[in-house]
Amino acid sequence: MSHSTLAILISGGLDSAILLGDALRCGESVVPIYVSCGLTWEAVELAYLHRYLDALRCAELMP
Q: Looking at residue 53, what is its pLDDT? A: 96
Residues 6+ apart with CB under 8 A from 53: 32, 61
DSSP the chain: ----EEEEE--SSHHHHHHHHHHHHTT-EEEEE------TTHHHHHHHHHHHHHHH--TTB--
| Residue closest to 33 by CA, chosen among 61, 7, 59, 5 | 7
Q: What is the pLDDT of residues 9-28, one digit of tens each?
A: 998 889 999 999 999 999 99
Q: Looking at residue 2, what is its pLDDT? A: 66
Q: What is the pLDDT of residues 32-50, one digit of tens each?
A: 999 999 999 999 999 999 9
pTM summary value: 0.84
Q: Looking at residue 4, what is its pLDDT? A: 83
Q: Per this entry, what is the length of the chain?
A: 63
